[in-house]
Amino acid sequence: MNTITSQLTIVFDPPFYKAIFERRTKDSYEVAQVVLGSSEPKTPLITDLVINKWSRIQFFEATSDTKSKLAATTKVNPKRLQRLARKTMTSNTSSKAQAALKKAFEKSKQTQKHSSVLQKAVVQEQEYRLRKSKRIEKHKGH
């Protein structure tokens, strides 16, 4: 049986509140981040986000080194799960989730930069061709 474990953490990252979703399966670890706004999120907003907008949340898969750490997890006693849940309510965000989100952000930034460089090269080539054609037209002697 394939089980999926999800965790939601609300973090205040000045000036905004963010929801960090972590999703674990047997062989993968995925993270998503949603900005909730500048005011403290209320319970109806969070439940609406989880129930109605879950399908629109875009998850990013973590690297292979975090997958190997997940493979070491075993079945946990229910009382221990309750203690861990209570502990995570008070502790800060998982650094693994933050690292995965940062890596996804860097990757998207790099692709944007690459497409920007390509676009600049195309524009520069067009300007060069226009200058060249004007120069040729000028020397024709009309």
Domains contained in the chain, number? 1
Q: Would you say residue 141 lies in a domain?
A: no
Structural domain contains residue 136:
no
pLDDT digits (tens, 9 = 90+) for 10-42: 888 788 888 988 888 888 888 888 999 889 999
What confidence score (pLDDT) does residue 89 get? 67
Q: What is the pLDDT of residue 64?
A: 54
* Residues of the chain under the 70 pLDDT cut: 63-74, 88-94, 142
126 domain residue, yes or no: no
pTM: 0.49
In a domain, 36, yes or no: yes
For residue 33, tell me if it sits in a domain.
yes
Domain that residue 73 falls in: 5-106
Nearest to 18 by CA among 37, 38, 35, 41: 35
